[in-house]
Amino acid sequence: MTQSAPTATRPTVRRLDPEDAQLALQRLQSILKRHEVITLLTEKQSEGDERSELISNLTHRRHENEIRAIINHLHPADIAFILESLPEPERQLVWDQVAEEHDADVLLEIEDWVRESLIKSMDAEELIAAASSMDADEIADLAHDLPPDVMAEVQKGLTDAERAQLIAAMGYPEDTVGAIMDFEMVRVREDVTLEVVLRYLRRLQELPDHTDQIFVVDREDKLQGTLSLATLLVSDPDSLVSHVMSTDYFSLHPLDPDTDAASAFERYDLVSAPVVDDYGRLIGRVPIDEVVDVLQEDSQEQELSRAGLQEEDIFAPVLNALRNRAPWLLINLCTAATASFVASRFEDTVSHIVILAFLMSIVAGIGGNSGNQTMTMIIRAMAMGRITGSNIWPLVKRELLVTFLVGACGSLVTATFAWFISKSIPIALVMMAAMIGNMLVGATLGVLIPTLRSRFGKDPAVGSSVLLTFGTDSLGFFIFLGLATVFLL
């Protein structure tokens, strides 16, 4: 956040490469390590040693210059990546050397769990300067992290139109289209020629990011159609917009879930999409970069949720990490204890046929893997909106059939292995039946767990793996040892 002096040089050619960020991170970590060593040595020196303090100050300034030289030549997204990869004290040291011109972009790129600590370290003037360079929709993204007095000052610097856009953006719930839509767009009337449109575009300093189409509206701002830039460039300039515009377009409502927008962009290969209100008036657009962010966030949330975790700073204090991880681990402990209790009820069976103790873990593991395959497909299908109340039972039947066929083939291998180590055909047959049975249990649970959680308004991915493991372990032990008790004793 150092103030960069203006320079009158030609634009720097910069090649964007994620490996550059990795290399920069390694170089910064080396500098920060040296900085830490110098700091520790200085603290051990007796107070009042002016020579040692002078050397320390000079060394620290040299380290800061080295950090500035590395960090300020990177793309804001790479700076955000580096800050996320450092513990908080080192993160703060690097953040202090980031040029002011990058502050706004870095705050928008960085993850929420890091942004909060960075904003706390900035004074009001720095925050106001950073927010003043943002668009209304970008300010809305940071509004919940900015202090109220900063937000008040930022709003004073906005025009009436920008202030109205900011209030509108902040009024839409999180995870909706309205929360990610962009207010910058190009709109024209249908009764003008393409030559007029081209002259209008030339007067603009630049087009909004990811502009692939121009929106055609009437005098009441109601969306009439879209005009792609490709059509604009290759068509006769004397043609009217109404003659070449497309009336076959996809539009979104501001209260639609952002996942619906992501699904539509994937299905129709969109670069941008208009957002219209209840009266058909054009109020914004959703660009592809916002959709990519939605897809990435949903993917990360699903990965964490399946393990019962929430997003957190990887360098967060131990107590914070404990609060995040302990609840589902305790639940997992209870489920594992239940599975062990089920196995203990067949103590006589296991004591008579000791080889069963080595084989029952295979039954539980295969059932869990089978269930995870099914559950992964179901959660993804639910995220894409492909599962409805009418197709859930046919889906269950299909998964059971597929699992049975896969289990039948796999159980032959498992039965062969069981016979090889036990020299007992009955044990091999019990192993074969138990494996198929637990795989069917896993497939059924893989469908039902996320479906029932969704039906009750819960995130279908949260803790799903823990619940599935509980079912396949407990029922797997029960099926295997139960069959062994009936047919082998």
- What's the whole-number average pLDDT of the chain? 85
- Residue 14: is its pLDDT beyond 70? no
Q: Label residue 1 by pLDDT band (50, 70, 90).
A: low
CA dihedral (139, 160, 271, 190) in degrees, to 10, reads 180
Which range has highest mean pLDDT (149-153, 336-340, 379-383)? 149-153
318-326, Cβ contacts within 8 angstroms, sequence gap of 24 or more: none
Written as one string, the DSSP assignment of 332-365 is HHHHHHHHHHHHHTTHHHHHHSTHHHHHHHHHHH
- Distance (Å, whole) CA 376 – CA 51: 63
| 16: region left, alpha or beta (phi > 0 left; psi from -120 to 50 alpha) | beta
Q: What is the pLDDT of residue 199?
A: 94
- Distance (Å, whole) CA 224 – CA 242: 9
- Distance (Å, whole) CA 468 – CA 307: 11
Q: What are the two backbone dihedrals, phi and then psi, of residue 221, each rounded to the nearest 5 degrees?
A: 65, 20
Mention every residue, 6+ apart, whose C-beta is less than 8 A from residue 146: 119, 127, 131, 154
Q: What is the pLDDT of residue 395?
A: 79
pLDDT digits (tens, 9 = 90+) for 456-489: 877 777 777 788 888 899 999 999 999 999 988 7
Which range has highest mean pLDDT (12-16, 308-312, 356-360)? 356-360
Which range has highest mean pLDDT (9-13, 356-360, 417-421)? 417-421
The pLDDT of 402-426, averaged and rounded, is 89
Tokens describing residue 180: 């990610």
Q: Which residues pair with 252 in a beta bridge?
A: 275
β 282-287/213-217 pair status: unpaired
Q: What are the two backbone dihedrals, phi and then psi, of residue 213, each rounded to the nearest 5 degrees?
A: -150, 155
Q: Is the dihedral of CA 264, 268, 269, 271 positive or negative?
A: negative
The terminus-to-terminus CA distance of the chain in angstroms comes to 75
Amino acid identity, position 105: D
β 213-217/187-188 pair status: parallel
pTM for the model: 0.67
pLDDT digits (tens, 9 = 90+) for 16-58: 666 788 899 999 999 988 888 877 776 666 555 666 667 777 8
The percent of residues above 90 in pLDDT, for the chain, comes to: 37
Q: What is the pLDDT of residue 410?
A: 87
- Complete domains list, the chain, with CATH: 18-174 (1.25.60.10), 187-306 (3.10.580.10), 318-488 (1.10.357.20)
Query: Radius of gyration over alpha carbons of the chain, in Å?
Result: 30
